[in-house]
Structure 1
Amino acid sequence: MAADSSHETSPLLPTDEQDESIQNDDTMGSNLLWKTGAVFGATAVGLGAFGAHGLKKHISDPNKLANWSTAAQYQLVHSVALLVASNNPVAGVFFTAGMTMFSGSLYALTLDNERFRFMGPVTPLGGLCLMAGWLALAFGKRGAATRWPRF
């Protein structure tokens, strides 16, 4: 005797509606990481330009200026990495945290080393997060470079 499947409430295979819901959740996270990467990239360019032009009027120490330049370069490179990682939320979170801690602490220490001395240990933690982001890309979900988020 065959079972009547017309009364099933939960199919074994996902429906189109369920597929769309899952895809929308992925797209929302991808869009957030994409936009975060774009904003971080724009601010990296602005902060790099400020360091090359405006900061020199206030800071003459070449080591401090080099630290600022390093912060801007790492932020810009990892902004692009965040765009690539927009479909890998683990890598995206690590890149975002890493840029914030690594570059942010270098910016703060360059502007006022005494006031922000407590941020010294934050810099290497940020570097570890950046490395973890790259490892998450290496060993995580693939396909981020071919599936750009929809806006």
Structure 2
Amino acid sequence: MTARIILQLAALLGALGVGIGAFGAHGLRKMLEASGRFETFETAVRYQFYHALALLAIGILYHLRPELRGLGTTAWLWLGGVLIFSGSLYVLCLTGINKLGAVTPIGGVLLIAGWITLFLAARQL
């Protein structure tokens, strides 16, 4: 993965986070509160934003230090983690399919693995 792609993914995840968050807060709030899933939805948006900002940072670092190949792995892990973690929570909130809760931890493990690969890549600095 290149620095340009990482930065574009960060921008995309950030833009989607704003859109999804606004839609949840304004268009879906009553439904989410009625189902008791508003906080879950907010958690999904929050983790998406955390990792969009983190991708932005590693995209910049990767642009400056392209020899830090582990940053590409970090980006892939975070992208997969956000898609599975936040994505499964979004689907859970919108459909009520509780079985998706079993998938969410896989996304969390990918997010954690991304932070570990960042730690390992940073040892090269």
User: TM-score category by the smaller chain?
Assistant: 0.7 to 0.9
More helix by share: 2
Structure 2 residue runs without a partner (length 5+): 63-70
Match of 1:106 in 2: 89
Which has the higher mean CA deviation after the structures are superposed, 38-47 or 58-67? 58-67
* CA–CA separation in structure 2 for the residues paired with 1:63 and 1:38: 30
State the aligned residue count: 114
Q: Which runs of 5+ in 1 are unaligned?
A: 1-27, 144-151
Question: Do residues 128 (structure 1) and 92 (structure 2) align?
Answer: no
In the other structure, the counterpart of 1:39 is 12
Whole-angstrom CA distance in 2 between matches of 1:94 and 1:85:
13
Tell me by how many angstroms 1:60 deviates: 3.0
1:18-97, aligned counterparts within 5 Å? 29-61=2-34, 63-86=36-59, 87=62, 88-97=71-80
Q: Counterpart amino acid of 2:34?
A: D
Mean Cα deviation higher: 117-126 or 90-99: 117-126
Q: How does 1:134-149 map to 2 (within 5 A)?
A: 134-141=115-122
CA distance in 2 between counterparts of 1:61 and 1:131 reads 32
**1:85 shift after superposition:** 2.1
Bigger Cα Rg: 1
TM-score by length of 2: 0.82
Cα drift, residue 62 of structure 1: 6.3
Secondary structure in 2 matching 1:95? helix
* Offset, 1:63: 3.1
Secondary structure, counterpart of 2:36 in structure 1 = helix
1:46, CA displacement in angstroms? 1.1
RMSD: 1.7
